[in-house]
Chain A
Amino acid sequence: MFWFAYRLECAMTDLDWVPDGIDVNVPSVARTYDYLLGGAHNLAVDRRMGDQMLCVLPGARDLVRLNRAFLRRAVTHLVDSGINQFLDIGSGIPTVGNVHEIAPQANVVYVDKDPVAVAHSRMILAGVERATAVQADLREPEDLLSRPEITALLDFDRPIAVLMLLVVHFSPDSEDPVGYIGRYRDRLAPGSRLVVSHATADRRVDTMREAANTVRRSNSQDNLVYRTHAEVSALFTGFELEEPGVTGCALWRPDGVGGISDDPDDNTQVYVGVGRKPATGSR
């Protein structure tokens, strides 16, 4: 998912009631992300939102690309480490380079709270036995982890990689992201991994402040919360960070030009990290 969303002033529809994410007059984070990645699973409102973001942050396309490249490197690394179960929370609309494509031998569950993203994922995944999609909310781990689709496909007695890419930064501190991530951790077997990517304003403070102000002015539901290096590191409480720790997105085990931007600031606009749940004493 992209890291900020606008809720544009929307015209009345002829429907009495439309759940979040289905109203075609309201942009969707998932579809905007798809637009910035070059996909066409988006509507005019999504593209308008994407274009507005590009005005504020001209490097937005690059950031999306770097995040997607990080996903590929991280999943490849985890597969090499013996992980074959993935829970991708905030997966959005699966365009290209999805987890089940990077790790075809693994069992994969995609989770998003956007019903369109989930419906779309299910369509894409029709006929793929090892992967499914579930509509649930990151912030409610007990509900999410008890979904039968998840427990049927993932074995919680064995290590699972939980991916939270560009999603935790929609949670203000009042939602206690360290707390709910801890509740995921408690349910995971030792050796499980937590993969996080998270927007930061540690560099380019002015630009990011301007971006945040733009979001604030726009009635957005999903406000962006930038976190510092220390704050992002705290999300890994109870996990042991794998090398090289929490770093700029492009600097995490780079393997080629595709994962790097020409603009050095872009390379650190998003913090990423991979943590491993140790065998004992995770609390």
Chain B
Amino acid sequence: MTAALPQDADGLRARAKLAKKWTYLLSSRTFIPLSSVELERHLLGLVERLCAGVGNEALAHKVGREVGTALVDLNCTSPDALQCSVEVVSKGLLGMAGLSQTEKLRDRVVDVIAALAAGFVERIRVSTLDQQEQLGRSLYRAMRQAQLDLEVGNARYDMVEGHTSTGIATADLAGRLLRTNAALARIVDRTRSELGGTSLFDLVHPDERDGLRTDFAQLTEGGTTSITQPRRLLRADGEVAWVTLTLSPLRRHEGGNQVIVLAEDATDVNLLQGQLNHQSLHDVLTRLPNRQYFTSRLEQALRTADPATGVTVFHLDLDGFSLVTGGLGRQVGDHLLKVVAARLQEVVADETAMVARFGYDEFAILVENTGSTPDVVTMVRRINDRLSAPFDTDGHRIACSATIGVVHRPPRDASPHDLLDSADLTLRRARGNGKRQWELADPTRDALDRRMFSMAATMPGAWENGELRVEYQPLVRLTDERIVAAEALLRWEHPRLGTVPHEQCLALAEDTGLIVPLGTWMLRLACEQGRAWRRELGREVPVRMSLSAGQAADPDLVSVVRESLADTGLPAASLWLGAPADLVLGEQEPADNLRILAESGVGVEVDGFTAAPAELLRVAGFPTRAVRMCRPLTDQPAPVVAQALANVLAVVREAGVGVSVAGVTTRAQAQWWREAGAATASGPLFAPAGPPDAIGHAGST
């Protein structure tokens, strides 16, 4: 590329020394994005080129220009950088060992340096122009981007402003509206042109102008970002529009600060909230308050009622309402409910009272009694008198009645929920007595009922937990008191209430429908036990079990009994099943069940036999193994009754039916019944109920 350079070591060393010095001077004057080593190598290259230019006249100009350009490209653009470069390079070249022989050395060096300066200036000029142009384009792009952003922002704002239901306005610091949207105009019932130039202060209710003025003052003073307040605005139609007004300062570089006004229409919200509120507290059909509303009113009334007269709560349940809807249709039912609602309100129209609908066909009335309030009996009579007046609906003429639970003058500190529970329990008791009944709350009975309900509810869990078990009570022959059978009885070892006896277990299970699975379980256990005794004692010890009404009516009873017998291998004759007299001797499914069982060999007994003539007739016509006397008769009867009873029992015995008595506690009872012809007996006198092995031990004696 260039003329050969002196390759001697001295020359090389001299050039490297110059490059090093140049590197040092440039580095400390200007930023060069290279490490010292890299820069030094770079500058050594330039020194080599410059030496070549000095040594070859034809190259001087070109080399000088190239080096000047290279310096600018290295970011050595400052006057300092050029000055020190010219200085160090000129001196270095003039004193360079390898160039001392060059002809007209000084002229050559001047040529090269002059070209270097020219190249430097030219490159600086181009570079500066390039950079300025780049900067101009950057400015333009940034500006354009900003304008685009602004346009998008404006479009977005216009979109929001035009379509939102929130009123939006821009106001000056005096409150004059400079720009408004359609929503604001709608809220204040004016056109936008009417709003233009209007002052916000003229739009607010006169009572709120001072408050608004304070808000504006705060915004003007700065520091506050925004202020939100409920405010009233005046509509053109004279009404007041409730709004939530938000004021935000809009700080501008020019033209003075402004205020952005947001007005959210709270009128609609208020109306809607009122409506929702009403719906959440009222029954939609009758428009009466609902249970929730009633409860809170009751709570209040309990506190505020005159202690001398107190309050009364009537809990009503329409009699046979499901028959009305089922037979005449739901529309008639709905009509009936509305009529009832209106009539109940009429009944208490003169009282401080609230009538509520609790549910399907349940209503409640809260009366805050005064001295002139009629007594409970009168009120109940008025209610049912009023309800029983027939009315026409959909071509039918109907009337109704209600069963009512009454809680009269509860203590002031009663909780409304307990009170309503009590009213509900009372209502249930009343319903137990039939239609159009009423009953007053009785705290003692409430507690009892409540305990029963809770026990019934927990019984299935108790069964799973093994709290229920089956015990056996011996049945003895009265002539020699030898054990002839054993009666299976339920026991519930209740963790809190202690032992719950058989009769109560049965009643609870009957209430909840648990009786069917529980009875099946019990039957199977009894059969297994009977089979076990047969094996262990070497003789038959029949097991006896009393069926509840629900069990006796169970369509599966026959198959359940047959399966238990088949699975355990107990002979049918070793199973004695007792059932309530009215069922055994009736004409319904239970009687059929029991007849089939009796015909297959199972000993069917009549429980609770009262020796009434009707029973006698039936017993004679039914394959009965025995009758068990009604419990109250166990006590030794009075002589006249005793004689009659003895006569009846003789008839029974003659029909081939045994007589049994349970619950015997005294020797006298045992003797009397033995003489009256009873064959078997059970009771504490002989042995209490106990585990199966008690029968075995007793039987072996």
Contacts and interface: CB of A to CB of B under 8 A. Distances in A.
The finding on whether chains A and B are genuine partners in a shared complex, rather than unrelated, reads: yes
Interface of A: 12, 16-19, 21-22, 24, 31, 37-43, 61, 64-65, 68-69, 72, 76, 95-97, 101-102, 115-120, 122-124, 255-258, 260-262
Contacts of B33: 68, 72, 96-97, 101-102
A154 B398 CA distance: 81
A116 B28 contact: no
Contacts of B141: 119, 122-123
B239 to A, nearest CB: 40
A134 to B, nearest CB: 13
Given A65-B31, A255-B35, A260-B28, A22 B77 contact: no
Given A97-B31, A256-B35, A116 B142 contact: yes
Nearest to B124: A40
A259 to B, nearest CB: 8
A256 B27 contact: yes
Contact of A96 (B31, B35, B254): B31
Given A22-B139, A43-B135, A115 B28 contact: no
Contact of B138 (A37, A61, A72, A116): A116
B120 to A, nearest CB: 13
Contacts of A37: 31, 75
Contacts of B39: 256, 258
B69 to A, nearest CB: 15
Interface residue SS majority, chain B: helix
B5 interface: no
A18 B150 CA distance: 10
Contacts of B37: 256
Interface of B: 23-24, 27-28, 30-37, 39, 75, 77-78, 127-128, 130-132, 134-135, 137-139, 141-143, 145-146, 150, 253-254
A145 to B, nearest CB: 21
A22 B32 contact: no
Contacts of B253: 17
A16 B31 CA distance: 39
A212 B254 CA distance: 28
Q: Lowest 7 CB-CB distances: which A-B pairs, in order?
A: A256-B36, A97-B33, A40-B131, A258-B27, A120-B138, A115-B142, A65-B31
6 contacts: A17-B150, A22-B142, A38-B30, A43-B135, A65-B30, A115-B145
A218 B362 CA distance: 82
Contacts of A16: 254
B78 to A, nearest CB: 6
Contacts of A118: 142
A257 B36 contact: yes
A72 B150 CA distance: 38
Contact of B135 (A65, A120, A122, A261): A120
B213 to A, nearest CB: 30
B5 to A, nearest CB: 27
A64 B131 CA distance: 19
Contact of A21 (B24, B78, B142): B142
B142 A69 contact: no
A261 to B, nearest CB: 7
